[in-house]
Protein backbone atom coordinates (compact mmCIF):
# COMPACT_ATOMS: atom_id res chain seq x y z
CA UNK A 1 0.00 0.00 0.00
CA UNK A 2 1.18 3.48 -0.85
CA UNK A 3 0.35 5.80 2.05
CA UNK A 4 0.65 9.53 2.73
CA UNK A 5 -0.23 11.12 6.08
CA UNK A 6 -1.23 14.79 6.16
CA UNK A 7 -1.70 17.31 8.92
CA UNK A 8 -4.88 19.35 8.42
CA UNK A 9 -4.67 23.01 9.46
CA UNK A 10 -2.00 24.86 7.51
CA UNK A 11 -1.50 21.98 5.06
CA UNK A 12 -4.97 21.34 3.61
CA UNK A 13 -6.84 24.40 4.86
CA UNK A 14 -6.02 27.91 6.01
CA UNK A 15 -4.82 28.01 9.61
CA UNK A 16 -5.51 30.59 12.31
CA UNK A 17 -3.91 31.30 15.67
CA UNK A 18 -7.53 31.78 16.82
CA UNK A 19 -8.34 28.18 15.67
CA UNK A 20 -10.61 26.97 12.90
CA UNK A 21 -13.90 26.79 14.80
CA UNK A 22 -16.62 26.27 12.19
CA UNK A 23 -17.26 24.90 8.71
CA UNK A 24 -17.38 28.50 7.44
CA UNK A 25 -13.82 29.06 8.73
CA UNK A 26 -12.64 25.85 7.03
CA UNK A 27 -11.18 27.28 3.81
CA UNK A 28 -8.94 25.08 1.64
CA UNK A 29 -5.51 26.39 0.68
CA UNK A 30 -5.53 26.92 -3.10
CA UNK A 31 -4.46 23.72 -4.85
CA UNK A 32 -4.53 21.51 -1.75
CA UNK A 33 -7.67 19.59 -2.68
CA UNK A 34 -6.37 18.94 -6.18
CA UNK A 35 -3.07 17.75 -4.67
CA UNK A 36 -4.92 15.19 -2.56
CA UNK A 37 -6.88 14.05 -5.62
CA UNK A 38 -3.57 13.58 -7.48
CA UNK A 39 -2.38 11.30 -4.67
CA UNK A 40 -5.62 9.32 -4.82
CA UNK A 41 -5.36 8.95 -8.60
CA UNK A 42 -1.74 7.77 -8.24
CA UNK A 43 -2.95 4.94 -5.99
CA UNK A 44 -2.14 6.46 -2.60
CA UNK A 45 -4.17 5.96 0.54
CA UNK A 46 -4.44 9.39 2.17
CA UNK A 47 -4.74 9.69 5.94
CA UNK A 48 -5.08 12.86 8.00
CA UNK A 49 -3.73 13.06 11.56
CA UNK A 50 -4.61 16.37 13.21
CA UNK A 51 -4.38 17.89 16.68
CA UNK A 52 -7.73 19.52 17.47
CA UNK A 53 -7.27 20.96 20.96
CA UNK A 54 -10.02 23.49 20.20
CA UNK A 55 -12.39 20.77 21.47
CA UNK A 56 -10.63 20.58 24.86
CA UNK A 57 -10.49 24.38 25.00
CA UNK A 58 -14.25 24.65 24.37
CA UNK A 59 -13.93 26.56 21.07
CA UNK A 60 -16.03 24.00 19.19
CA UNK A 61 -17.59 20.60 19.81
CA UNK A 62 -17.31 17.19 18.18
CA UNK A 63 -20.39 17.80 16.04
CA UNK A 64 -18.81 20.97 14.61
CA UNK A 65 -15.54 19.13 13.93
CA UNK A 66 -17.51 16.42 12.11
CA UNK A 67 -19.21 19.13 10.02
CA UNK A 68 -15.80 20.56 9.08
CA UNK A 69 -14.58 17.12 8.04
CA UNK A 70 -17.78 16.44 6.07
CA UNK A 71 -17.18 19.73 4.23
CA UNK A 72 -13.61 18.62 3.48
CA UNK A 73 -14.83 15.31 2.03
CA UNK A 74 -17.53 17.07 -0.06
CA UNK A 75 -15.02 19.55 -1.47
CA UNK A 76 -12.59 16.73 -2.22
CA UNK A 77 -15.26 14.63 -3.94
CA UNK A 78 -15.98 17.59 -6.23
CA UNK A 79 -12.38 17.42 -7.53
CA UNK A 80 -12.16 13.61 -7.58
CA UNK A 81 -10.38 13.15 -4.25
CA UNK A 82 -10.98 11.68 -0.81
CA UNK A 83 -9.47 11.19 2.63
CA UNK A 84 -9.34 7.47 3.42
CA UNK A 85 -8.72 7.78 7.17
CA UNK A 86 -9.07 10.85 9.37
CA UNK A 87 -7.83 10.77 12.97
CA UNK A 88 -7.76 13.63 15.44
CA UNK A 89 -6.56 14.30 18.97
CA UNK A 90 -9.16 16.30 20.93
CA UNK A 91 -6.88 16.85 23.93
CA UNK A 92 -5.12 20.00 25.04
CA UNK A 93 -1.35 20.08 25.62
CA UNK A 94 -1.80 19.73 29.40
CA UNK A 95 -3.39 16.28 28.96
CA UNK A 96 -0.01 14.82 27.99
CA UNK A 97 -1.79 12.11 25.99
CA UNK A 98 0.07 9.80 23.64
CA UNK A 99 -2.00 10.81 20.60
CA UNK A 100 -1.20 14.55 20.53
CA UNK A 101 1.64 15.38 18.16
CA UNK A 102 4.63 15.62 18.66
CA UNK A 103 4.02 12.26 20.35
CA UNK A 104 3.68 9.50 17.78
CA UNK A 105 0.42 7.87 18.95
CA UNK A 106 -1.83 9.18 16.19
CA UNK A 107 0.62 8.18 13.46
CA UNK A 108 1.06 4.76 15.08
CA UNK A 109 -2.74 4.40 15.05
CA UNK A 110 -2.78 5.16 11.31
CA UNK A 111 -0.25 2.35 10.83
CA UNK A 112 -2.29 -0.06 12.99
CA UNK A 113 -5.62 0.68 11.32
CA UNK A 114 -4.19 0.36 7.83
CA UNK A 115 -1.84 -2.51 8.76
CA UNK A 116 0.98 -0.48 7.25
CA UNK A 117 4.56 0.01 8.47
CA UNK A 118 5.37 3.72 8.67
CA UNK A 119 9.07 3.54 7.78
CA UNK A 120 9.63 6.04 4.97
CA UNK A 121 5.93 6.98 4.66
CA UNK A 122 5.58 10.67 3.71
CA UNK A 123 4.13 12.80 6.52
CA UNK A 124 3.31 16.36 5.45
CA UNK A 125 2.98 19.05 8.10
CA UNK A 126 3.54 22.73 8.80
CA UNK A 127 4.86 22.58 12.37
CA UNK A 128 7.78 21.19 14.30
CA UNK A 129 5.47 18.82 16.17
CA UNK A 130 4.37 17.25 12.85
CA UNK A 131 8.00 16.68 11.89
CA UNK A 132 8.90 15.28 15.32
CA UNK A 133 6.00 12.81 15.23
CA UNK A 134 7.03 11.70 11.73
CA UNK A 135 10.62 11.20 12.78
CA UNK A 136 9.56 9.26 15.90
CA UNK A 137 7.93 6.58 13.71
CA UNK A 138 10.66 6.50 11.04
CA UNK A 139 8.48 8.28 8.47
CA UNK A 140 9.67 10.84 5.90
CA UNK A 141 8.89 14.35 7.25
CA UNK A 142 7.91 17.01 4.71
CA UNK A 143 7.45 20.60 5.84
CA UNK A 144 5.22 22.91 3.84
CA UNK A 145 5.72 26.68 4.00
CA UNK A 146 1.97 27.29 4.24
CA UNK A 147 0.20 27.65 7.59
CA UNK A 148 2.83 27.82 10.33
CA UNK A 149 5.53 26.49 8.00
CA UNK A 150 7.45 29.77 7.62
CA UNK A 151 7.45 30.22 11.40
CA UNK A 152 8.68 26.66 11.80
CA UNK A 153 11.55 27.34 9.41
CA UNK A 154 12.56 30.25 11.66
CA UNK A 155 13.19 27.81 14.52
CA UNK A 156 16.30 25.67 14.81
CA UNK A 157 15.39 22.33 13.25
CA UNK A 158 17.41 19.57 14.85
CA UNK A 159 15.84 16.96 12.65
CA UNK A 160 17.38 15.14 9.73
CA UNK A 161 15.84 14.13 6.43
CA UNK A 162 13.22 16.90 6.37
CA UNK A 163 12.12 17.96 2.89
CA UNK A 164 10.87 21.54 2.59
CA UNK A 165 8.14 22.32 0.07
CA UNK A 166 6.28 25.47 -0.96
CA UNK A 167 2.85 23.90 -0.33
CA UNK A 168 0.99 20.60 -0.49
CA UNK A 169 1.04 20.65 -4.29
CA UNK A 170 4.85 20.86 -4.28
CA UNK A 171 5.01 18.12 -1.62
CA UNK A 172 2.87 15.86 -3.82
CA UNK A 173 5.17 16.62 -6.78
CA UNK A 174 8.13 15.47 -4.66
CA UNK A 175 6.34 12.37 -3.35
CA UNK A 176 5.28 11.30 -6.85
CA UNK A 177 8.78 11.99 -8.21
CA UNK A 178 10.27 9.68 -5.53
CA UNK A 179 8.18 6.83 -6.91
CA UNK A 180 9.86 7.01 -10.10
For the segment 47-76, what is each residue's pLDDT rounded down to a tens digit? 999 999 999 999 999 999 999 999 999 999
For residue 161, what pLDDT is reported? Answer: 87
**158 pLDDT more than 80:** no
Share of the chain above pLDDT 70, in %: 99
pLDDT tens by residue, 34-45: 999 999 999 999
Residue 95: give the domain boundaries: 2-179
Q: Distance of alpha carbon 123 from its chain centroid, rounded?
A: 7
Mean pLDDT for 77-84 is: 98
Residue-level pLDDT at 155: 83
pLDDT of residue 180: 67
C-alpha span between 134 and 123 (Å, rounded): 6
Task: Give the pLDDT confidence score for residue 56 in this predicted structure.
Answer: 96
CB–CB of 163/174 below 8 Å? yes
The predicted pLDDT at position 106 comes to 98
Indicate if 61 belongs to the active site: no
| Beta carbons of 93 and 111 less than 8 angstroms apart | no
Tell me what pLDDT residue 76 has. 98
**Is the confidence at residue 159, as pLDDT, over 90?**
no
pLDDT at 19: 95
Q: What is the pLDDT of residues 81-126, one digit of tens each?
A: 999 999 999 999 999 899 999 999 999 999 999 999 999 999 999 9
User: What is the sign of the dihedral through the CA atoms of 135, 172, 163 and 68?
Assistant: negative
Total number of domains in the chain: 1
Which of 7, 15, 130, 167 is flagged as catalytic?
7
Phi first, then psi, for residue 177 (nearest 5°) are -70, -30
Predicted TM-score (pTM) of the model is 0.97
Q: How confident is the model at residue 156 (pLDDT cuts 50, 70, 90)?
A: confident
Q: With pLDDT > 90 as the criterion, what percentage of the chain qualifies?
A: 94
**28: domain CATH number?**
3.40.50.1000
| CB-side neighbour CA atoms (13 Å) of 76 | 23
Q: Hey, which bits of 126-169 come out as E strands?
A: 140-144, 163-165
Tell me, letter by letter, the H, E, C secondary structure of 41-100.
Answer: HCCEEEEEEEECCCCCCCCCCHHHHHHHHHHHHHHHHHCCCCCCEEEEECCCHHHCCCCC
Sign of the Cα torsion 145, 125, 12, 103 reads: negative
Could you tell me how many residues make up the chain? 180
Residue 157 reports pLDDT greater than 80: no
pLDDT at 130: 97
How many Cβ atoms sit within 10 Å of the Cβ of residue 121?
A: 23
Amino acid sequence: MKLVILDRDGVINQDSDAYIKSPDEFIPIPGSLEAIARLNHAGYTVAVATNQSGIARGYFDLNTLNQMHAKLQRLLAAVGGRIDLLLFCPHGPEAECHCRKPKPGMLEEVGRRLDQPLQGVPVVGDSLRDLEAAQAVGAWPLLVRTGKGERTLGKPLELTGVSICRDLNAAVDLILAQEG
